[in-house]
Amino acid sequence: MADTVLFEQRGHVGIITLNRPKAHNACNAELSALMEKYLKVIDETDEIWVGVVASSHPMTFCAGADLKAVNKGERIEGSVGGFAGIVKYPLRKPMIAAVGGAALAGGCEIVLACDLLCATRNATFGVPEVKRSLVPAAGGLFRLPRRLPRAVAMEMMLTGDRIGAQRAYELGFVNRLVEPGSDANAAALAAALELASAITVNAPVAVREAAGVVRATAHASDEEAWALSQAAFLTLVQTEDFFEGPLAFIEKRDPVWTGKAKL
């Protein structure tokens, strides 16, 4: 179980790596439990400001559920985060998916649970569940139409066909698109770490609050959105970093963030 998912911290970035290469990172109970465990580590570690989900397989991000485990009647969902331990997990910090190769079915739904996406040009995304008399029930049914034009998402779900990374990038689904090289997932991870670095230069509590409001207001009314925006601002007012940002600007130096939620 200890090797099914790997975890490391690099600076202010927590990296979760799916590590069932022989099974193309198909999700079983162990993978879900460890994903949940490491998401909790990211959530509770003040020094970690951004999370990344990556893969150890050179050509596959995740092939979805472990159908052998499912056919045995095994429960593969996490107790808090559901499928893969992430699709229902109450994320507090920005999560970046680093995808080289195929992200299919539940693998695509892991991507959809993240906020940002870095992919290689050979990456593909798909929810082929209808080909097996299933539906993408781990968030794909409602998250895919939020991230892609409705007609595109509908076609993907009803045909079960994939889209390539180039088209996904053009449609705004992919943030950073890079060449795959000899190890596509390593290339995707490098791009994700570069994006994470662009985020971690900023005030961590402000980043966290901004991400939270964006997630929460996807289908909120203006009244609800204003309330959440105001609450986020009031949270920032109570931090040391709220004063450090303007002071660093006045003193013409880089800010030194504490990342502490309250004074």
Catalytic positions are: 109, 129
CA quadruple 235, 240, 245, 251: dihedral, nearest 10: 160
How many angstroms separate the CA atoms of 33 and 127, rounded? 23
Cα separations (Å) of 187 from 57, 182, 193, 225?
12, 9, 10, 37
Using DSSP, state whether 97 is helix, strand or coil.
strand
* Residues with Cβ within 8 Å of residue 251, at least 6 apart in sequence: none
Backbone Cα Rg of the chain? 19
CA atoms within 13 Å, Cβ hemisphere of 162: 16
Structure tokens at 156: 């993907």
User: Identity (one letter) of the amino acid at 20?
Assistant: R
Residue 71: other Cβ atoms inside 10 A: 8
The helix (run of H) or strand (run of E) holding residue 118 is strand 116-120
Q: What is the largest CA-CA distance in the chain?
A: 63
How many angstroms separate the CA atoms of 168 and 69, rounded? 31
The per-residue DSSP string of 2-32 comes to TTTEEEEEETTEEEEEE--GGGTT-B-HHHH
